[in-house]
Structure 1
């Protein structure tokens, strides 16, 4: 492989979250998530990126990452979406932080280092979400329908990771049944909403039943 190395520098960091309880109803909650995906291309221009988690009752963008930029650019960047949240009468929390280096930024959202916050009990399947999907309203709505009811979803930029949790107090059969549902129910739904896409190779699913070469 060939890797390109960039000099370290300051990072403008932001976070945004709201819950189902902050919205008038579930319809408004999911409409807000739909709108976020529609606006996401404007948030990740250049080398900007973000990480977020979606659950049936929580929307949490915990890592808005703007390398080599001043933190003052974050508020106007997020303003169009925050206006939509206010139109939907959704209460939200939005904050920004200036970090001196990428390591400081990484530790702030993934710390404490070296191990981070994630325990070894996550069961994953994943799918890459094409830009064309979120830019087309009907396709984006289909993606939201696939998300709704999937449990926990974790998205660094355009990677969609569906996450369940291994229960060490349950039987092996019970845990494998959870994995089976991810593979046989949720993966096909996400694939149908993202035609022509693929997966993140580092997290390829050994249980995958589709055309693995494609």
Structure 2
């Protein structure tokens, strides 16, 4: 999203703030139980082994290099555990933050509540320099993990494949209601889901959740592969699925779109038609992340985009950044994301918005899409804590106080 760059600016490097402290009995008026305090530089692969050793689990990003205190929690943060426990921002107990005037302060649901609200999902790098975050932790235990795949047979019409995709999408609301999340990848001739994650459940529970889909695939005569494994802990699952080196870098141009629950319940065929069109007419990799969260999951009210609470899926459309091509080639790819691919998704998901951490920095309607009805309140909070708009990043709240000049410098708007 380009939030880490700004010609002539001062960048604050928090990467080496690596402390991870497990708190067995955190106590406050709004939560009591296990918690974990993390420095601003902590990424998933720093925290998860420490937390797991204590017999706990926390909501973290899929990729092990995701910074848990920065863009992840401050931007919302979805996870393989989100359908069960909520967003990353929903776990926030207290933020330690240096304000624009140099003051170190703490924001909690009972102290500096407006700042706590904004930091918890209102966008990273915006309201102050966070130096630590304390989050709720959960008792660890079994995790059921599945994979499902099917493809178009050479002797069959692709219509059968897409009927199978429709069966999968129709079952997403029930899947997330059951506490599961799923990452699916589409191509013109195949569909695969891996991992499909169901915390605190076993193989039988997983098979029950997926039964409506496999029954439909059987009726369609579509051959498929469906496998389920139960891991004893979250870390055992994570080490297999997310630690491999290929997860260390994603060098793609992304665009995204939420899919509200009613679309999956009532307009599945129209949605599938758009997905089919995108896979058959563009080079985009289409990822379908089935995930649901409710404000009831949160420690306290927060600034997670209202659209998140209405969505049961996040669609990612990605084009590969081409290092061997001229700059204009990649600019054209960004244009295709924002002016061809995303508008087609918008047509079937009106007003749904996009996840600010997995969208595109050139999105022309970023205020509405990334923040929804929270934007005006967030702008007032930023003005209260950062009156001179010292903190800047593309598409953060208040970023339109600045213009980017032709040579890349920031100038007052």
Do the two structures share a fold, i.e. TM-score over 0.5?
Answer: yes
Counterpart among 161, 165, 169 of residue 29 in structure 1: 161
| 5+ residue gaps, structure 1 | none
- 1:209 counterpart = 2:364: yes
| Aligned partner of residue 323 in structure 2, secondary structure | coil
Structure 1 residues 166-177: aligned runs within 5 Å: 166-177=321-332
**Deviation per residue, 1:147-169 (Å, 9 max, x gap):** 12323211222111111111222
| Aligned partner of residue 191 in structure 1, secondary structure | helix
Q: Which residue of 2 aligns with 1:122?
A: 252
Is the contact between residue 23 and residue 90 of structure 1 (CA under 8 Å) also seen in structure 2? no
Number of corresponding residues: 210
| Aligned partner of residue 149 in structure 1, secondary structure | helix
| Aligned partner of residue 143 in structure 1, secondary structure | helix
Mapped to 2, the partners of 1:31 and 1:7 lie a distance apart of 39
| Aligned partner of residue 197 in structure 1, secondary structure | coil
> Which one has the bigger helix percentage?
1
Q: Which residue of 2 aligns with 1:67?
A: 199
Mapped to 2, the partners of 1:149 and 1:165 lie a distance apart of 19
| 5+ residue gaps, structure 2 | 1-88, 93-134, 279-283, 291-312, 373-413
Cα displacement (A) at 1:116: 4.3
Cα displacement (A) at 1:84: 1.0
Structure 1 residues 111-190: aligned runs within 5 Å: 111-112=243-244, 115-117=245-247, 119-136=249-266, 139-150=267-278, 151-157=284-290, 158-190=313-345
Q: Which residue of 2 aligns with 1:19?
A: 151
Is the contact between residue 316 and residue 358 of structure 2 (CA under 8 Å) also seen in structure 1? no
Is the contact between residue 146 and residue 226 of structure 2 (CA under 8 Å) also seen in structure 1? yes
Cα displacement (A) at 1:182: 1.1
Mapped to 1, the partners of 2:287 and 2:330 lie a distance apart of 20
Mapped to 2, the partners of 1:70 and 1:147 lie a distance apart of 32
Counterpart among 38, 45, 48 of residue 180 in structure 2: 48
With structure 2 as the length reference, what TM-score do the two structures score? 0.48
| Aligned partner of residue 66 in structure 1, secondary structure | strand
Is the contact between residue 128 and residue 160 of structure 1 (CA under 8 Å) also seen in structure 2? yes
After superposition, the Cα gap between the structure-2 partners of 1:87 and 1:23, relative to the gap in structure 1 and judged at 3 Å, is farther
Mapped to 1, the partners of 2:171 and 2:160 lie a distance apart of 16
Cα displacement (A) at 1:13: 0.5
| Aligned partner of residue 69 in structure 1, secondary structure | coil
* Bigger Rg, structure 1 or 2: 2
Mapped to 2, the partners of 1:129 and 1:106 lie a distance apart of 26
After superposition, the Cα gap between the structure-2 partners of 1:120 and 1:85, relative to the gap in structure 1 and judged at 3 Å, is same
**Deviation per residue, 1:164-197 (Å, 9 max, x gap):** 1112222222222122111101111111111121
Mapped to 2, the partners of 1:188 and 1:91 lie a distance apart of 33
| Aligned partner of residue 129 in structure 1, secondary structure | strand
Mapped to 1, the partners of 2:178 and 2:219 lie a distance apart of 29
Counterpart among 183, 195, 205 of residue 350 in structure 2: 195
Cα displacement (A) at 1:51: 1.3
Cα displacement (A) at 1:17: 0.5
| Aligned partner of residue 177 in structure 2, secondary structure | coil
| Aligned partner of residue 357 in structure 2, secondary structure | helix
